[in-house]
């Protein structure tokens, strides 16, 4: 989970812009979007008014002006804290957008007209369908498809990956992104998006949070918070006449203080920050979620469809075992296998050297007299001729057998059985011979990416089913599936099988996630509830998906799912905390309100708060400072450990529910101890 | 205390088979009594011309509303013209318009708030044609909507059922037979059942006294079976003719607990995922469906807590009376019947408000302040079993709320019974939860702010506030018990409580049906170990806390100024 770019939690720039933002966001038109905090702002306005004209609502009491002033200041700070939280979350995204924007500076581009003439014009004038020529060292002006040429392109501006990628016409390598640089040769590109709609534009808008829409869960939670706010407003508004009947004339600012304490300001103030931070966490993994909803849906994923090659396995076959045949020894086999692979730069060759040296403990050097043969499709073998005339070959079993027989050698009886055994396990057998003598078989295996077995176990712990899709035969597929620990697999899988599988899972009410890159994955990506396209993939795939992984690392889907869950857990936990806080606040403020007229009420003052004023102000101050205290939690998300839902619920309920009941009792008491001597000095 | 435990045990033993029976009726499964009732029902369908067409939630709600409105109109007319000499041996006059409005709303909404006294306010025709009829009709209405609601939640059918069919099935198969049985038992214990005029007798003291007569047993049985609570006589179940002895007292308590308790059991059966539970061989015999367990546990725990508090407070007696030399070892017997004592009275008080019946066997006005908190709290929560069916529906609102919060905490879009809880459901749930405190607090605040309201308060100070809040809590919860002492037969009180009863009943029901209707058509989501389980202890505790913090604490300020202040001053 710590793979993302590590930055300091808060930088000076972010701090500065957030503080400024906290004030500019006080604009009521902006505040109205957050009803809970809007109520606090109205409360601030009223108490501010009462600070200058303490008696307009007929309030009585000594030092009323000062008291109202203090309440007004605390309310203002409460709103500022909430705005600040949002600012910090946005700031982190903005910093990233800034660096993206640098690549978007105005560039010139060469447009080719139908008759082949070149015209130079500003990139911002380009329309969809225009054809441009981009030469070495130039920026690609906008998203497009390569229609002619072959070139390497540096995509580091978007992906952060410094190695250039090859782009050519046709296939999976035709799509290019605006803002990337051609570093060799030239490309003729058909532009596929209008100005302002490019991938880069979308990314900037997303990370800036400008186009952030409230997600369905956020809307539902917001509805709940508004509902609670209304209930508490009813409580407070009706409390005034009820108190008057009982002979208590409550001060307006005290009623406002109680309102602000009871309405869920903690979650109300942090809600949008949590959402923005969730998107930001995804972005930090170099995954661009095309909507907040997509991240949220990830939390609900029931089934994950993963391609075998590239996602579960490295896609390269690696040496796993040396199996001697006939009268050869394992040491002998290893020695010759390693020598034959010394100059073999393919991953398979390297892995043979690595494993061989590891097993034998010997290190082999390349001698100048060695003559290496490359693998060709005709010979289907590679090898080396030593200076003493020894010929070592390794390759497909039937090719080696033919080679040995031609040299007059014979085939060991157990070779056939060993080769079949390896094939049965889903591996590739490489047969090794020296001269006309067959030494044995190298077992090349499709290797599972490191750490994946544990990740799948994590997924199983939270009830997510994993299905592996592969073009391999059922036997090979079963071996890999068992080794990786996926729940099921589909062998000899065609693209249409994937769609059928997704549809079947969805008809059972399951939420399906998948990754894909090729054009033929596009329909499946669109059908899946969560589709993550690889940035290296075709633009059709990217368009169909709801997330794009800039690093083109299919295993990222696992991280994104956890981030989605964490986002929801953070929201739920802070809501619980916010609501649970009310218990202590009731016990702080209600006795304080009535103690003067009904002295017996002091029994309810279980915290033993010193005076009415200090009780009310302590509760209000606690309510305000809890917001910045929880900003780090809102940004980073609640700690997430995969486990059964019951355990997760009890765990979180204990911390945020029970903790939410207890914490304010302690907090309010401590604040009371600090502020009561100060208030006494002020004469309150 | 032993008698209280015994009654609770019998209660649980009774509702398990009764809940299963209700379940069979709700899902139209075969029951032992079908041969008889099918004929009766079919005859009714034919006479009324009822087509058994399936309804969606809107059609169901409209059918329910229209049926109730027609009943209200006919009932109102009868109350106004009851002076006619039909079944009116005592020569009772017509009822005043605002009181008629209040009475008819009160009985149609299953509230049974009475601003009149039965002996002097109603003719036998009105008692039978309006009061007893409404007691059946409103109870059956409550059951029907609850069944439709649960069908929606269970999502096993494509429709919410047919209101008319539900109404008739419940009446013929549950309410009528049970009422007949209980009625006969009550008659055997001395409850009158006749149409004679009141008898005037000369007492030993030489004074003259009217002895009330009438079809009391008939009313008494459905009054409790249907959790109605409106007495034939002004003194309700504290009058010897309504509730002669401890046996009838226990029967009456059990009758009002029976059906609301069974509703929870029936709910458990209706939403049970049979496929999941039959995996291990043959179908298990289920007493309480797993989904109903936490709900039932929370209801039972709040009920028991209420009984304990009420019993302890009443047993502690009144310190002021002690100071002036009155022995309080029997507890606070003011306003209680000697034949029932503290235990039977405290239990009756708790039960009648928890199950929102509203009949009383002691004067709630004279309960100790803390003892009075219990009935008040029960009505403010309105989820401690509650009235037939509607209590369960109210509880489900809090379940949805809890599911939403807990669901987020396990990192998934919240889902209940395999249906996602989204913006629309949350909006309706929030509305449904707001209505209750809004009605109680806003009208209470109004009443103590205007002279017309203040005029009704007979006991100024904290107790007067409690009287007012109690009256509206009783109306909003469709309970109907009176704190008494309030001079409530005035235009102000008749009209405001009438409105509170009306909105408290129908707004809630419509919102709840809308929630069920919305959940019904959603595609069920699949369940895994990552899904929030709503049948666990943790969920039960969470539900309890949500009810405590959101439902109970809402009324904390008002409670503090009313009964809690009264208690604190009394004991200091």
| Alpha carbons A198 and A331: distance in angstroms, whole number | 59
Element (H, E) at B317: none
Chain B CB within 8 Å of residue A213 CB: no
For position A559, what pLDDT does the model report? 86
Q: What are B138-166's pLDDT values in tens digits?
A: 999 999 999 999 999 998 888 999 999 99
pTM: 0.89
Chain B interface test: which of A227, A244, A505 (most B C-beta within 10 Å):
A227
Annotated active-site residue in A307, A472, A559, A672: A307
Element (H, E) at B260: helix B246-270
With CB atoms and an 8 Å threshold, state whether A302 touches B431. Answer: no
Pairs across A and B, CB distance < 8 A: 212
Q: What's the mean pLDDT in B237-261?
A: 95
With CB atoms and an 8 Å threshold, state whether B524 touches A509. Answer: yes
Residues of chain B contacting A582 with CB distance shorter than 8 Å:
549, 553
| Alpha carbons A221 and A578: distance in angstroms, whole number | 13
Residues of chain B contacting A648 with CB distance shorter than 8 Å:
409-411
For position A9, what pLDDT does the model report? 63
Active site residue A307: yes
With CB atoms and an 8 Å threshold, state whether A246 touches B572. Answer: no
Does residue B464 carry a pLDDT above 90? yes
Does residue B373 carry a pLDDT above 90? yes
With CB atoms and an 8 Å threshold, state whether A511 touches B525. Answer: yes
What is the least distance, in Å, from the CA of B267 to any CA of chain A?
23
| Alpha carbons A139 and A205: distance in angstroms, whole number | 21
The burial class, CB within 10 Å (0-12 / 13-18 / 19+), for B287 is: middle
CA A368 from centroid of its chain's CA atoms: 51
Chain A CB within 8 Å of residue B538 CB: yes
Does residue A485 carry a pLDDT above 70? yes
Higher pLDDT, A562 or A172: A562
With CB atoms and an 8 Å threshold, state whether A224 touches B568. Answer: no
For position A535, what pLDDT does the model report? 75
Give long-range contacts, CB 8 A cutoff, 24+ apart: B267-270: B267/B150, B267/B291, B267/B292, B267/B295, B267/B392, B268/B19, B268/B292, B268/B293, B268/B296, B269/B19, B269/B20, B269/B23, B270/B23, B270/B26, B270/B27, B270/B150, B270/B151, B270/B154
Q: What's the mean pLDDT in A75-82?
A: 96
The burial class, CB within 10 Å (0-12 / 13-18 / 19+), for B187 is: middle
* pLDDT band at residue A57 under the 50/70/90 scheme: confident
For position B175, what pLDDT does the model report? 96
Q: What's the mean pLDDT in A222-246?
A: 95
Residues of chain B contacting A217 with CB distance shorter than 8 Å:
408, 413, 422
For position A1, what pLDDT does the model report? 34
Chain A CB within 8 Å of residue B450 CB: no
Q: Which of A94-103, A361-370, A612-621, B162-171 has the lowest mean pLDDT?
A: A94-103
Q: Which of A93-107, A217-231, B485-499 has the lowest mean pLDDT?
A: A93-107
Q: Which residues of A are annotated as a binding site for ATP?
A: 344, 348, 375-382, 394
What is the least distance, in Å, from the CA of A216 to any CA of chain B?
7
| Alpha carbons B219 and B207: distance in angstroms, whole number | 30
Q: Which residues of A are annotated as a binding site for Mg(2+)?
A: 517, 521
| Alpha carbons B183 and B179: distance in angstroms, whole number | 6
All residues at 6 or more sequence positions from A14 whose CB lies less than 8 Å from its CB, including other chains: A87, A88, A91, A92, A94, A95
Which residues of A, range 284-343, sit inside 8 Å of B by Cβ? 296, 299-300, 302
| Alpha carbons A560 and A677: distance in angstroms, whole number | 51
| Alpha carbons B254 and B273: distance in angstroms, whole number | 30
Can you read off the two tokens belonging to residue B302? 């709040």
With CB atoms and an 8 Å threshold, state whether B437 touches A462. Answer: no
What is the least distance, in Å, from the CA of B303 to any CA of chain A?
22
Higher pLDDT, A157 or B133: B133
For position A397, what pLDDT does the model report? 87
User: Mind spelling out the 3-state secondary structure of A529-579?
Assistant: CEEEEECCCCHHHHHHCCEEECCCCCCHHHHHHHHHHHHHHHHHHHHHHHH
Q: Which of A3-17, A142-156, A498-512, A519-533 has the lowest mean pLDDT?
A: A3-17
Chain B CB within 8 Å of residue A160 CB: no
What is the least distance, in Å, from the CA of B406 to any CA of chain A?
7
Q: What are A487-505's pLDDT values in tens digits?
A: 999 988 888 888 999 999 9
A374-383, A494-503, A596-605, B434-443: which is most confident? B434-443
Higher pLDDT, A91 or A646: A646
User: CA end-to-end span of chain A, whole Å?
Assistant: 52
Q: What's the mean pLDDT in B310-332?
A: 92
Name the 3-class secondary structure at B449: helix
Which residues of B, range 504-533, sit inside 8 Å of A by Cβ? 523-526, 528-533
∠ CA A31-A35-A41, rounded to 5°: 55
For position A546, what pLDDT does the model report? 85
List the single residue in B431, B434, B568 with the smallest CB-CB distance to A603: B568
Chain B interface test: which of A231, A577, A581 (most B C-beta within 10 Å):
A231
For position B275, what pLDDT does the model report? 57
* pLDDT band at residue B274 under the 50/70/90 scheme: low
Q: What's the mean pLDDT in B43-56?
A: 91
For position B215, what pLDDT does the model report? 95
Which residues of B, range 258-277, sit inside 8 Å of A by Cβ? none
Chain B CB within 8 Å of residue A214 CB: no
For position A162, what pLDDT does the model report? 65
Return the DSSP state at A603.
G
* Cα dihedral: A427, A428, A434, A438 (round 10): 70
Chain B CB within 8 Å of residue A278 CB: no
Return the DSSP state at B284.
P
Does residue A2 carry a pLDDT above 50? no
Return the DSSP state at B29.
-
On whether the CB atoms of residues B439 and B500 are closer than 8 A, the answer is yes
Q: What's the mean pLDDT in B442-453?
A: 95
Does residue A4 carry a pLDDT above 50? no
| Residue-averaged pLDDT of chain B | 93
Closest CA to A277 of A571, A623, A572: A571
Can you read off the two tokens belonging to residue B495? 């009209």
Residues of chain A contacting B546 with CB distance shorter than 8 Å:
579
* Cα dihedral: A319, A321, A324, A330 (round 10): 100
Residues of chain A contacting B572 with CB distance shorter than 8 Å:
600
All residues at 6 or more sequence positions from B503 whose CB lies less than 8 Å from its CB, including other chains: B435, B439, B476
∠ CA B533-B535-A303, rounded to 5°: 20
* pLDDT band at residue A551 under the 50/70/90 scheme: confident
Can you read off the two tokens belonging to residue B497? 């409580």
């Amino acid at each position: 989970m710590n793979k993302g770019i590590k930055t300091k939690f808060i930088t000076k720039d972010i701090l500065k812009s957030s503080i400024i933002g906290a004030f500019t966001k006080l604009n009521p038109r902006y505040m109205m979007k957050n009803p809970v905090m809007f109520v606090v702002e109205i409360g601030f306005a009223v108490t501010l008014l009462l600070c200058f004209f303490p008696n307009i609502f007929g309030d009585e009491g000594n030092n009323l002006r000062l008291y109202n002033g203090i309440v007004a200041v605390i309310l203002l700070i409460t709103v500022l804290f909430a705005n600040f939280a949002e600012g910090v979350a946005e700031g982190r995204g903005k910093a990233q957008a800034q660096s993206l924007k640098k690549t978007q500076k105005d560039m010139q581009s060469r447009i080719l007209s139908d008759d082949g003439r070149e015209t130079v014009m500003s990139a911002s004038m380009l329309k969809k369908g225009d054809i441009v020529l981009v030469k070495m060292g130039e920026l690609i002006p906008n998203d497009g498809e390569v229609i002619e040429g072959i070139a390497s392109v540096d995509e580091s501006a978007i992906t952060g990956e410094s190695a250039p990628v090859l782009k050519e016409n046709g296939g999976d390598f035709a799509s290019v992104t605006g803002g990337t640089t051609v570093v060799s040769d030239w490309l003729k590109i058909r532009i596929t998006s209008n100005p302002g709609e490019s991938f880069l534009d979308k990314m900037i808008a997303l990370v800036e949070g400008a186009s952030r829409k409230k997600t369905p869960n956020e809307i539902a939670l917001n509805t709940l918070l508004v509902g609670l706010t209304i209930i508490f407003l009813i409580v407070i508004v009706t409390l005034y006449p009820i108190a008057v009947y009982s002979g208590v004339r409550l001060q307006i600012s005290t009623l406002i203080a109680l309102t602000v304490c009871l309405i869920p300001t903690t979650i109300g103030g942090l809600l949008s920050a949590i959402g923005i931070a969730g998107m930001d966490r995804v972005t930090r993994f170099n995954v661009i979620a095309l909507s907040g909803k997509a991240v949220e849906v990830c939390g609900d994923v029931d089934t994950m469809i993963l391609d075998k090659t590239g996602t579960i396995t490295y896609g390269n076959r690696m040496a796993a075992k040396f199996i001697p045949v006939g009268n050869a020894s394992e040491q002998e086999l290893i020695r010759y296998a390693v020598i034959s692979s010394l100059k073999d730069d393919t991953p398979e060759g390297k892995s043979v050297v690595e494993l061989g040296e590891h097993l034998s403990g010997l290190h082999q050097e390349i001698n100048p007299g060695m003559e290496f043969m490359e693998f060709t499709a005709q010979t289907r073998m590679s090898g080396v001729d030593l200076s003493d005339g020894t010929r070592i070959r390794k390759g497909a079993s039937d090719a080696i057998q033919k080679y040995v027989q031609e040299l007059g050698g014979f085939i060991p009886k157990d070779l056939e059985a060993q080769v079949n055994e390896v094939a049965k396990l889903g591996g590739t057998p490489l047969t090794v011979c020296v001269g006309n003598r067959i030494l044995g078989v190298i077992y090349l295996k499709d290797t599972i990416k490191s750490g994946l077995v544990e990740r799948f176990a994590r997924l199983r712990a939270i009830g997510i089913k994993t299905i592996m899709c592969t073009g391999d035969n059922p036997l090979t597929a079963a071996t890999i599936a068992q080794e990786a620990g996926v729940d099921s697999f589909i062998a000899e899988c065609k693209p249409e099988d994937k769609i059928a599988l997704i549809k079947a899972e969805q008809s059972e009410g399951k939420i399906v996630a998948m990754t894909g890159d090729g054009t033929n994955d596009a329909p499946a990506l669109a059908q899946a509830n969560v589709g993550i396209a690889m940035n290296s993939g075709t633009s059709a795939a990217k368009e169909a998906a709801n997330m794009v992984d800039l690093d083109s690392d299919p295993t990222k889907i696992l991280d994104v799912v956890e981030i989605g869950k964490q986002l929801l857990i953070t929201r739920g936990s802070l809501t619980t905390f916010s609501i649970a806080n009310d218990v202590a606040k009731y016990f702080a403020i209600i006795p304080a309100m009535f103690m003067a007229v009904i002295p017996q009420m002091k029994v309810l003052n279980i915290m033993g708060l010193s005076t009415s004023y200090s009780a009310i102000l302590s509760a209000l101050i606690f309510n305000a400072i809890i917001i910045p205290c929880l900003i780090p939690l809102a940004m980073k998300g609640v700690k997430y450990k995969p486990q059964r839902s019951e355990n997760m619920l009890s765990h979180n309920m204990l911390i945020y529910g029970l903790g939410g009941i207890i914490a304010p009792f302690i907090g309010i008491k401590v604040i009371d101890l600090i502020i009561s001597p100060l208030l006494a000095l002020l004469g309150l | 205390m032993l008698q209280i435990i015994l009654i609770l045990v019998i209660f649980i033993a009774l509702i398990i088979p009764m809940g299963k029976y209700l379940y069979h009726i709700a899902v139209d499964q075969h029951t032992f009594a079908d041969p008889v009732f099918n004929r009766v029902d079919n005859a009714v369908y034919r006479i009324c011309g009822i087509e058994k067409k399936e309804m969606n939630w809107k059609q169901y709600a409209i059918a329910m509303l229209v049926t109730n409105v027609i009943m209200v109109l006919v009932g109102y007319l009868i109350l106004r013209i009851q002076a006619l000499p039909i079944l009116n041996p005592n020569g009772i006059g017509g009822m005043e318009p605002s009181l008629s409005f209040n009475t008819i709303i009160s009985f149609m909404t299953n509230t049974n708030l009475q601003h009149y006294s039965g002996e002097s306010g109603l003719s036998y025709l009105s008692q039978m044609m309006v009061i007893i009829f409404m007691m059946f009709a409103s109870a059956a209405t409550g059951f029907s909507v609850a069944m439709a609601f649960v069908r929606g939640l269970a999502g096993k059918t494509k429709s919410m059922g047919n209101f008319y069919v539900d109404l008739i099935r419940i009446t013929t198969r549950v309410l009528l037979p049970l009422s007949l049985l209980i009625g006969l038992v009550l008659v055997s214990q001395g409850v009158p059942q006749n149409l004679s005029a009141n008898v005037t007798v000369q007492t030993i003291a030489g004074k003259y006294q009217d002895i009330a007569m009438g079809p009391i047993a008939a009313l008494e049985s459905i009054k409790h079976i249907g959790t109605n609570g409106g007495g034939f006589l002004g003194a309700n179940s504290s009058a010897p003719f309504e509730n002669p002895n401890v046996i009838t007292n226990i029967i009456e308590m059990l009758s009002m607990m029976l059906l609301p308790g069974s509703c929870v059991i029936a709910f458990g059966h209706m939403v049970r995922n049979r496929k999941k539970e039959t995996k291990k061989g043959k179908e298990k015999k289920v007493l309480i469906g797993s989904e109903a367990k936490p709900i039932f546990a929370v209801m039972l725990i709040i009920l028991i807590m209420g009984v304990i508090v009420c019993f302890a407070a009443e047993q502690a007696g009144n310190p002021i009376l002690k100071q002036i030399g009155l022995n309080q070892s029997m507890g606070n017997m003011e306003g209680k019947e000697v034949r029932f004592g503290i235990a039977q009275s405290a239990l009756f008080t708790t039960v009648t408000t928890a199950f929102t019946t509203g009949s009383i066997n002691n004067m709630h006005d004279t309960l100790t302040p803390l003892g009075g908190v219990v009935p008040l709290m029960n009505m403010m929560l309105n989820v401690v079993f509650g009235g037939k069916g509607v209590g369960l529906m109210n509880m489900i609102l809090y379940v949805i709320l809890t599911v939403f919060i807990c669901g987020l905490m396990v990192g998934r879009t919240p889902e209940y019974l395999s249906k996602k809880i989204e913006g629309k459901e949350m909006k309706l749930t929030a509305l449904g939860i707001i209505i209750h405190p809004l009605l109680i607090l806003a009208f209470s605040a109004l009443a103590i702010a205007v002279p017309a309201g203040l005029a009704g308060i007979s006991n100024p100070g904290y107790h007067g506030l409690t009287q007012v809040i109690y009256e509206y809590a009783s109306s909003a919860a469709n309970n109907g018990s009176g704190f008494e002492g309030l001079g409530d037969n005035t235009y102000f009180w008749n009209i405001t409580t009438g409105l509170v009863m009306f909105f408290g009943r129908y707004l809630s029901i419509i919102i709840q049906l809308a929630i069920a209707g919305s959940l019904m058509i959603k595609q069920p989501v699949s369940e895994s170990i990552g899904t929030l389980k709503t049948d666990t202890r943790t969920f039960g505790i969470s539900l309890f806390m949500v009810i405590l913090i959101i439902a109970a604490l809402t009324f904390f300020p008002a409670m503090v100024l009313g009964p809690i202040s009264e208690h604190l001053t009394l004991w200091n």
